[in-house]
Each structure stands twice: as C-alpha cells, then as structure tokens.
Amino acid sequence: MSLFSEEEAAGDTDMDFLRNLFSSTLGLGSADKVLDELTMGGVAQYINSGKCKNIICMVGAGISTSAGIPDFRSPGTGLYANLQKYNLPYPEAIFQIDYFKKHPEPFFTLAKELYPGQFKPTICHYFIKMLKDKGLLRRCYTQNIDTLERVAGLEGEDLIEAHGTFYTSHCVSFCCRKEYNLDWMKEKIFSDDIPKCDKCSSLVKPDIVFFGENLPVRFFTSMKSDFPNCDLLIIMGTSLQVQPFASLVSRYCISCFLVLEHTADPLFGLLGIGGGMDFDSDKAYRDVAHISTCDDGCLALADLLGWKVELEELVKKEHARIDSQGTKEKASDSKGAAAKTSAASVAPEPKKAE
C-alpha cells in the first residue's frame, strides 16, 4: 500500500468526522437510537439483546496501568514525567525515530524496564477476550505496545496494533530490513547490548511506531471495513489525543460506550475532541460515559451482562497459569546456570603423552 493510499484513508476519516459533526450538531442525516437509555445498563441490555454482534474496542495505556505499566501523560506518574535520568532534549525524543538512530541507548534502557513478559494482563484485557470468546468482538484497536492483548488470548487477526508491537523487530536499514523475533530482541536487551543486525550491523528496532514513522498499513485498510459495520464502540484507557487513532471515533458507529478514568475530563467529547461525542445534550442519542478505572468499568459492565463471575474466574485461572509458567522458566534458567557453573569448575583432563 502506497503512502498515497494511507493519506487517502486519512482523508476519508476527516470526511467521516465532518459528516458526523454536521449530523449531530445541525440535525442533518439520520440518528438512529439503539439504546433504550444512555446508561451502562442500556449498553448491557443492547449487548444481551442479540442485536449487537460487531463490537470494536479502542484501548490505550490506561488499560495496562493496573498491571504496573505507567501510562504516558499522567502528571507525576506518567512515563513522560519520569524520563529525566535519560538526559533527553525533550521527553518525546525517546520515541523519535531520528533521535533513536543517533542515540538508541535511552530507548533500550527504558525497554528493559517495560519489556513484555514481566506483566500480567488486567481485568480489562480479559474482558475483551471474553467478547471474542462470545463471538461479539469484531476487532480490538490498541495504542499499546506491551503485547498484553496477545498474552490475554487475542490473536493477530483480532488485533490492530496501531502503534506497532514488540512482537517482532526489523533492521532499520532500508536495504536490509531483516526480521527478528521477540526472544532474540529480549536476549539483546537483557544482556545490555544495543541490538545490531547479524547481516549488515545496522540497528535493530522493535516494530513499534516511533514519531516520524507511518502507522501500519493494516490500520488504514481495516478501519474502512470494520467501522461501517460496528454495532458498539467501547473506548477504554485512552485520552484520544494522538492522531490518527483518535479520529477513529468519528467514523460511523451505532453506539459508543466510553470508560473515562477519574483523572480524565468528561467534557472533552462535548468540546469536539475525540470525534465530538455527545453525552448529555438535548441531541444526545448514542454516547454513554462511565467514570471509573478501566478494570472497575469492565467489572461493572460484566456484572450487568451476567458475566462477572465468569470474568473473575478467567482472570484468576489465567494469572495462576502465568505465575506457574514463570516459576518453571525461572527453575529452568537456574538449572541451566548451575550446569554452566559446574562445567566451568571441572578441571580439564591432562593430555595423554603421544
């Protein structure tokens, strides 16, 4: 897919935003109301009615904070507020492609702290997995690069990793572009080595989207087919401040359910940010906001759907499995280290006289 096609897709998104803005503000076009009431209860009733068969989830860093991964913009605790030790010219530089190519050390030091595999999926991740298991999830669009959606059981077909992923890595040289897997990159990062290509010695970067890079082609192609068929859009853990991800909200959806963090501004949708969502005006007909943490919001919705016990049992079972797997891996690593130490301590046999 050419860059022109990506720009064309972005242009379609802009047009969708304008159509929906005029429709909601000026009363133009149709505004079919599918929720009996603009509450979480109305959303649950709609899902249970059998009429809601294509749910899209849009998620951001807020769904992973309860796993111990910091978000980006929270004052004091966010990632950008705690990067002073890297001596960056500005916080975002750590994810700037030009800066990375000249100074890769800060990024890989941070990557070691936040590397996938050290955290367990949250209630929110497993709620999305339940939507899949029940045949309701059309797609999950995520801004996250922590791969926790995959750990929770979503597969590549279920996901649009809009900002890329640590799952694969590539050489940054346009003439090479050799691919490397998660285990290769993990070994390099935890050995404190700057990953270099085995083929051409250029830097190797995880396939996350840095500032200055294009989003994955699949993001643009999938949104064209997914959103026109969306029955319910569930937005969690994102401030909708980063484009073009934020503009997805402006694409046509029958109903929209937003879980807002306590620190978020519930008026941002009314001000036209994030697609011009409307929660409480006289013309409101589709958008519902719930103020809570993402995990609490998912538990509350699951309770109304009659899924709460099932969700809690799933989380408990999967966390136990991950803990057990981690214990086995540590034991295996310890045995391997002990074997190496033992072998190194054995004196070599003297050579026989010829």
Angle between helices 105-114 and 182-190 (to 10 degrees): 110
* 111, two tokens: 């990557």
Q: Is 171 annotated as a binding residue?
A: yes
Residue 146 in marked binding region: yes
Q: Known binder of ligand: residue 200?
A: yes
Edge-to-edge strands, sheet with 232-236: 159-161, 137-142, 55-59, 232-236, 256-260, 287-291
To the question of whether residue 231 is assigned a binding role by annotation, the answer is no
**Is the CB of residue 277 less than 8 Å from the CB of residue 269?**
yes
User: Measured at the alpha carbon of residue 267, what is the angle toward residues 14 and 54, in degrees to the nearest 5?
Assistant: 55
Please state the three-class secondary structure of 45-64 as a single string.
Answer: HHHHCCCCCCEEEEECHHHC
Where do the DSSP E strands lie in 146-231?
159-161, 164-171, 179-181, 204-208
CB 282 within 8 A of CB 270: no
Active-site pick, 103, 125, 163, 290: 163
**How many Å apart are CA 323 and CA 178, to the nearest integer?**
33
163: annotated active-site residue: yes
* Cis upstream peptide for 70 (omega within 30°): no
The answer to whether the annotation marks 298 as part of a ligand binding site is no
The answer to whether 239 is annotated as binding is: yes
DSSP string, 61-90: GGGTGGGT---SSSTTTSGGGG-GGGT-SS
- Kindly give, in sequence order, each residue whose CB lies less than 8 Å from that of residue 125, ignoring residues fewer than 6 positions away: 63, 64, 148, 149, 151, 152
292 annotated ligand binder: no
* Residue 62 marked as a ligand binder: yes
On whether 143 is known to bind a ligand per the annotation, the reply is yes
At 63, give phi and psi (nearest 5°).
-80, -10
Least Cα distance to 172 among 195, 146, 193, 192 occurs for 195
Q: Which active-site residues does the annotation give?
A: 163
Binding residues: 61-65, 71-73, 143-146, 171, 176, 197, 200, 238-239, 294
Binding residues for NAD(+): 61-65, 71-73, 143-146, 238-239, 294
Binding residues for Zn(2+): 171, 176, 197, 200
